[in-house]
Structure 1
Amino acid sequence: MKKGMILVLTGASSVGKNLIRDELMKDEEMNLFYSISVTTRPKKEDEIDGKDYYFVSYETFASAVRNRELLEYTEFGGYYYGTPCQQVDFLINQGKNVLIEVEAQGVGQIKLKHPDALCVFVIPENMDELEKQIRLRYKDDETTIQQRLNKAKMEMELQPLFNNVVTNTDAAASAATIKKAFLDEWKKG
């Protein structure tokens, strides 16, 4: 059985990765399974444990780090986020392709363990559009808006490290571009 492949989706905060992810996940030809992250962040009212995230305590998260159970992990806003190794390894060994959506700094950790992973950096049409998206998403919290804007500017500095960069002006078109690059790589392997 042919092993599955990992598709890593990253980019600046609020650039539209979720919409692109949703488009990719609908495409049966991609044979994609979404890797659910683990987090110490409290569950929001509309979130479902085991579907949106695995919500865990700081102690459980620290144990996972100590035991090398996370493919990558990062901290933002005082909370930790990570990708469970076991889930990803199980799926790719079953011939399934895995979509992992992570912060840009987590990509290096993934590439060390899975050098054949296709990593895509999603960028906005321009910084003004990105700021507009951040302000729409976090409209009532100027502190969070400024945090996200600063984070997005730092993340955009990482763009030159990626061979696959997609400008997101339309989620469906961006997903189609990513699909082509992914299937080309998958067919090579």
Structure 2
Amino acid sequence: MAMSGNLYVVAAPSGAGKTTLVRMLLASEAGVNLSISHTTRSPRPGESDGREYHFVAVDAFRAMISRGEFLEWAEVHGNFYGTSKSRIAEQLAAGSDVLLEIDWQGAQQVRQQFPEAIGIFILPPSMEELTRRLTGRGTDAPEVVERRLAAAQAEMRHVGEFDYVIINDQLDQALDDLRAVVRAARLAVGKQRARHAGLFAKLL
């Protein structure tokens, strides 16, 4: 069955504003759904299964890995996180757009199994601004900020692996750019044929 939905993979270094942009996109653009990952970590207060994450036991997660059920997965701070391949496929086949908010390593895994995924990388306008944003949080010690900045520079070297780059200088403009990518991708000939098969059959 043709998949009429698009899969968007959004990545960025810490402090670039990815989470804020994604949240604003989901609130303003109908038909885009945030992928809900599986995780082995325990739910935090206020979280519920199937909303923030699908919470599963470690053994169950490992079994899913062995069956090849993940589009991408990783171990982070002792917990596993992964994206279900079948859940993504079901949503795309139904015509829904799906957005994955992951790092560049997860994006590489996705492209290996789903090369038609649309990669979007969010950049800060400068290292000075990135430093200001990370320092302005007021939650990290200076040495932690330095490590985050070094990690951010390493992550940004992978920008060439993505299809689109959005520089998040002015938030409203960056959101407009992100929405433009989403809307343009929906107008690709293959997607329009899949979504409007009856119309194409009549007209052509």
In structure 1, distance between residues paired with 2:143 and 2:57: 25
Asked if 2 retains the 8 angstrom alpha-carbon contact of 1:123 and 1:165, the reply is yes
Mapping 1:108-123, distance limit 5 Å: 108-123=108-123
Q: Which amino acid aligns with 1:116?
A: E
Shift of 1:136: 4.1
TM-score with structure 2 length normalisation? 0.80
Residue in structure 2 matched with residue 92 of structure 1 by the alignment: 92
Distance 1:58 1:130, change over 3 A: farther
Q: Which amino acid aligns with 2:79?
A: Y
Residue in structure 2 matched with residue 169 of structure 1 by the alignment: 169
In structure 2, distance between residues paired with 1:67 and 1:23: 35
In structure 2, distance between residues paired with 1:158 and 1:177: 20
Distance 1:42 1:124, change over 3 A: farther
Return 5+ residue gaps in structure 2 as ranges. 191-204
Cα offsets for 1:14-57 (capped at 9, x unmatched)? 3211111112112345x111101122334333433322222333
Mapping 1:150-165, distance limit 5 Å: 150-165=150-165
TM-score with structure 1 length normalisation? 0.85
Percent identity reads: 28
Higher Cα Rg: structure 1 or 2? Answer: 2
In structure 2, distance between residues paired with 1:141 and 1:57: 33
Mapping 1:21-100, distance limit 5 Å: 21-29=22-30, 31-100=31-100
Across the aligned residues of Structure 1 and Structure 2, the Cα RMSD in angstroms comes to 2.4
Aligned length: 188
Distance 1:45 1:112, change over 3 A: same
SS of equivalent residue, structure 1 residue 71 = strand
Greater shift in the superposed pair: 86-95 or 149-158: 149-158
Cα offsets for 1:163-185 (capped at 9, x unmatched)? 31111123332121122122222
Distance 1:59 1:136, change over 3 A: farther
Greater shift in the superposed pair: 64-73 or 107-116: 107-116
Return 5+ residue gaps in structure 1 as ranges. none
